[in-house]
Structure 1
Amino acid sequence: MKKYIINTTYSMVIMAFLVVLGSLLFQSCDSNDSMEGRQIIINRVFLEDVNSAVPDREVSFARLGQLLRIEGAGFTGLRKVYINGYAQYFNPVYVSDNSMLVAISADTPVIDADPSVRNTIKFENTAHETVFDFEIRSGAPAITSISNTLPKVGEIITVYGSGLTEVNKVIFPGNVEVTTGIVYDEDGEFFTVTMPSGVSPNGGSLLVQSANGGVYSPAYFNCKKGVILDFDGSGTHGYWGTSISMIQNTDIESALIGTGNASQGKYVPHRPSRIASFDAAKNRCSEVWTAGNGVDDWRGQLTPFIPATTPLNQVALQFDIYVPNVWNNTGFLKICLINNFNGGEWAGATYNYVPWIAADGTKIPFQTTGWQTVTIPLNKLYSFSSGDFTFDDVLKFREAATYKNFGIYFENSDIKLTNVTGAPTETVYASAATSVSVFTDNWRIVSLNTPTYSDFPE
């Protein structure tokens, strides 16, 4: 009898537990079912970035590819999320009733989004949809080059890059703001703006504001303090002897030439008017130099704004070039760090500028309507192209030279394509006689340092 009573009591306890558990499970399912299909409410949006000093930051905009954490209520039963009208993938595992994670797909349209859904996030469940206004930007904009970094006031320049959509403001060195007359490409690959007055002659970066946020250019715009020779008093033109190749002071020209970006005072013709053409297979066809010993002082002039410790890939030679007729098939400019070359070198402290050969080795006619800027990082010089060099290495090299003149040759010898592209190839572009006209001006050493733009400055 006693044993029976114990078993009966145990069974009753088990039954009671099962009834309670079933009731709880039923209530839970019923509660979950009742939560699905409720109105979705969005309170705040956070950017998740483990590499940031603030890994969970409340934001009012985000870029393609970024991960968002969205706070609110009613996410249980969420079926669809659309950003700018584009369906986004999200993992239900990371969805609770009051929070969810979603990464913005790189395929999400931004500029091309339908205006009615642009800068919106839409949430859908079985019964409701909620649209939340939230700014969506493409990847961070970038600047790759500027057509002329030393323009005259009133001249138009073109800034090239990516993500440069809906540019609304350009801040020039000296904090000179331009908000009107900016014309941008719909694909964000370039925009044009007019050079204003009052830009600092010390130079610096452009700060560009666009629909995708801000971006800085390298600090090489209007860098007049870096000019080593402009044939108008900045720097000293050096010349000597009676060699046909030597550009004399009488060869320097000053007639106004160039459309859009016009010449600025005096400039050098690399085929002076006294030479009708250059023969094929000839080097050192013309040469133009700074004064060199006792006059050039790169360390004193340049290191106040380009520290000697600067990595060499962050320092560049710039010059402005004008080529009124097509330049193709033959000829190049040799940059000479010092005066110690015979011509024809593809080695040493030189660099050969061949604008009519593309990076892939194809020939492309080169011509300009006005003056445009060429930028050659100093680590392109063959002696400094492999290794962790600094600007100080270049300064010491020049200071140790017997002849400290900096110069440019026009050369017209055969070109081994591998010397230009670095790729293994047996292709040789044979030289030919040429009467091409190439002019340069405003030789300068500039900084390529680019300030970092932060979407969220601390």
Structure 2
Amino acid sequence: MRNLRITYIFILALICYSFFSCKKDSSSSSIQVTGIWSHSRNTETTQISSIFFNNWIRIHGNGFTGLQRVYFNGTQVPFIPIYVTDTDIIINVPETIPTGSDVADQTRLNTIQLVTATGQTSFEGFIFRDPDKIPSISGISYTMPYAGDVIEIYGKNLKEASVITFPDSTKGTIRSANDSILQVIVPENIDRQKYGRITIDIDNERYSSAPYMFFQNGIFLKTFTEEAMVAGGNNGIRIYSNPADIAALTGLQHNPENVIAIPATKTDIPVAANNGISGNFFKFYAYKAFNTLIEKNGDIKGTTSIENLAIQFELYMPSPWTSGAIPFKMNKNRSGVNYAYLYNITAWEWKKLVSGGVELNPFKFDNGWKTITLKFSDFPTLAMSSLKDYSTSLQTNGFESLVGYVNYDLNEDGHTPQAVKNFQMYLANFRLVPLTNLE
């Protein structure tokens, strides 16, 4: 009987041992990631949701003992065993892992996978960032569009954009996307009186344009009858203010309210002899135009640095722009290459080919009106100053300003100008716009 009791106790003890032993094994096979933390000597440790390449992170959780493999975005990455405990993994993010659309299996995008001897787990929503793929916006094709118009956002690494937001918080529709250009349809309920930045969302980060979208407070030439216009200074141009007449010119549904046509009628423009202007231009006093804005003391003030400003205007041509330039002359008496008071606007370009030759890349108006942006910093040798000081210098020098069309090798870069058939261009809404937030 005693032996039977001992045997029973032994069996009971064995069962209890087996139970607790199995419970311990089950616990050790449970892997969980609870968060990702920064790990740098130079910064305070914080919980993070993204990281750039070549930085260290700490993966926190439990069950990491027996770690065998680590995957970032589906790609296996090396780890150092002595940097692994049951609750933490300190690991470097290598620059060899794919990101964005380069991840072969998109279900593995923004994931961390851990595999141990007893199981595996996946942590989702952590973004690996390639510094060479940081998105940026360099410009916008048309900054005064209407609902339904198609605009283009220019920049770098744009193709992953998911949301386009206009200054009034309405969302645009992405029509097409690649790394350098986003085509966006302007929303139907857009508020054109609300100016500011266009923003794009990519991988839970927001990137923005300069704050000049729909900026109308800086318009200084709209009707082309303003006091700033030089009396008798127009030559070979025509001003249109009737919407039906403007629509007949452009063939477009949406147009600016007032348009100046250069030349007055469609004309063949030969290559100019002696580097002369075509004879089609209008003149104005830039200092009078700028002083009008200064006196309003609105968003743009006399104290605003011209380094933070640009000149914008709308441009449309019925045919692609292939030759010639629009000289923006602060001093009408100076021609030739760019200098402090002259900038020759040429949106077309000659592209160098691998073969050694060149190829003409026309400036096209497929989606309608374009906005030309001319920064004051683009004028060579122009000293940056306040708008008031700059305007005063123009007035002191007695400069008349001029905008027109020329067709010769104006920048002396050796390309061959071309005669232009049936030429006419339309311009509108000359204005100053901010490149940065205004004080």
Scaled by the length of structure 2, the TM-score of the pair is 0.76
Which contiguous aligned blocks of 4+ residues in structure 1 show a shift greater than 6 angstroms? 49-52, 250-253
Question: Residue 422 of structure 1 aligns with which residue?
Answer: none
Contact 2:272 2:408 in 1 (8 A): yes
- More deviation in 358-367 or 114-123? 358-367
Partner AA of 1:59 in structure 2: I
Aligned with residue 368 of structure 1, among 360, 365, 373? 365
Residue in 2 aligned with 1:326?
Answer: 320
CA distance in 2, matches of 1:284, 1:188: 35
Cα deviation for residue 222 of structure 1 reads 0.2
Q: Residues 141 and 213 of structure 1 are in contact (CA less than 8 Å); yes or no, is this contact kept in structure 2?
A: no
What code does the residue aligned with 1:57 have? Answer: T
1:437 paired with 2:424, answer: yes
CA contact (8 A) 1:141 1:212 kept: no
Matches within 5 A, 1:12-31: none
- Say if 1:216 and 1:450, in contact at 8 Å, map to a contact too: no
State whether residues 201 and 225 of structure 1, in contact with CA within 8 Å, keep that contact through their aligned partners in structure 2. no
- Name the counterpart of 1:154: 148
| Code of the aligned partner of 1:368 | F
The answer to whether structure 1 residue 408 and structure 2 residue 413 are counterparts is: no
Distance 1:200 1:279, change over 3 A: closer
The unaligned stretches of length 5 or more in structure 2 are 1-24, 353-357
Deviations 1:2-29 (A, max 9, x none): xxxxxxxxxxxxxxxxxxxxxxxxxxxx
CA contact under 8 A between 2:326 and 2:346: conserved in structure 1?
yes
What SS is found at the alignment partner of 1:111? Answer: helix
Bigger Cα displacement from structure 2, 277-286 vs 356-365: 356-365
SS at match of 1:395: helix
CA 1:275 to 1:42, structure 2 compared with 1: closer, same or farther past 3 Å?
closer
* Partner Cα separation in structure 1 for residue 150 and residue 128 of structure 2: 27
Shift of 1:87: 1.8
The answer to whether the 8 Å contact 1:81/1:88 transfers is: yes
| CA distance in 1 between partners of 2:208 and 2:378 (Å) | 23
Correspondence 1:199 to 2:185: no
**Could you say if the C-alpha distance between residues 341 and 246 of structure 1 is closer, same or farther in structure 2, counting changes exceeding 3 Å?**
farther
Q: C-alpha distance in 2, partners of 1:358/1:450?
A: 35
Quick one: which amino acid aligns to residue 155 of structure 1? D
Residue 393 of structure 2 corresponds to residue 397 of structure 1? yes
Map of 1:24 onto structure 2: none
User: What residue is the counterpart of 1:383 in the other structure?
Assistant: 381
How far is the alpha carbon of 1:288 from its aligned partner?
1.6
- CA 1:200–1:264 in 2, change beyond 3 Å: closer, same or farther? closer
User: Counterpart of 1:117?
Assistant: 108
- Give 1:221 deviation, angstroms: 0.1
What amino acid sits opposite 1:161 in the alignment?
Answer: G
Q: Does 2:103 align with 1:89? A: no
Q: Aligned pair in 2 of structure 1 residues 66, 373: CA closer, same or farther (>3 Å)?
A: farther
Q: What's the offset of the Cα at 1:238?
A: 2.1
2:60 corresponds to 1:71: yes
* Residues 290-299 or 195-204, more deviating: 290-299
RMSD: 3.7
Question: Which residue of structure 2 aligns with residue 171 of structure 1?
Answer: 165
- Partners of 1:408 and 1:219 lie apart in 2 by 25
The change in CA–CA distance for 1:444 and 1:65 in structure 2 (over 3 A counts) is: farther
**Given the alignment, which residue of 92, 98, 103 partners 1:108?**
98
Say if 1:392 and 1:237 are closer, same or farther in 2 by CA, change over 3 A: closer
Q: Distance in 2 between matches of 1:141 and 1:195?
A: 23
Name the residue aligned to 1:143: 137
Deviations 1:185-223 (A, max 9, x none): 265842413244452535211233343421111101000
Q: How does 1:334-373 map to 2 (within 5 A)?
A: 334-337=327-330, 339-358=331-350, 363-369=360-366, 370-373=368-371
Deviates most, 211-220 or 272-281: 272-281
* Change beyond 3 A, Cα 1:356–1:155: closer
Mapped contact 1:84–1:110 kept (Cα < 8 A): no
Question: Structure 1 residues 383, 287: CA separation in 2 closer, same or farther (over 3 Å shift)?
Answer: farther
AA aligned to 2:396 is A
- C-alpha separation in 2, matches of 1:431 and 1:136: 51
**Contact 1:46 / 1:56 at 8 angstroms: preserved in 2?**
yes
Q: Is the 2:146–2:186 contact (alpha carbons within 8 Å) kept by the matching residues of 1?
A: no
- Contact 1:203-1:223 at 8 Å conserved across structures: yes
Measure, in 2, the Cα distance between the counterparts of 1:218 and 1:67: 33
* Alignment partners' CA distance in 1, 2:340 and 2:389: 14
C-alpha contact (below 8 Å) 2:146/2:192 kept by paired residues: no
Output the CA distance in 1 between the equivalents of 2:307 and 2:94: 34
Paired residue type of 2:260:
V
Native 8 Å contact 1:176 1:199 kept in 2: no
1:214 equivalent in structure 2 = 206
Q: Could you say what secondary structure the match of 1:297 adopts? A: helix
Aligned with 1:148: secondary structure? Answer: coil
Q: Normalising to structure 1: TM-score of the pair?
A: 0.73
SS state at 1:123 partner: strand
Cα deviation for residue 444 of structure 1 reads: 1.4
| Structure 1: runs of 5 or more not aligned | 1-33, 419-426, 452-458
State the percentage of identical aligned residues.
21
Matched residue, 2:117? 126
My pick for the range that moved more, 221-230 or 209-218, is 209-218
Q: Give the letter for the 1:109 counterpart.
A: T
Name the residue aligned to 1:448: 435
Q: Matches of 1:86 and 1:376 in 2, distance apart?
A: 45
Distance verdict in 2 for CA 1:98–1:317, change over 3 Å: same
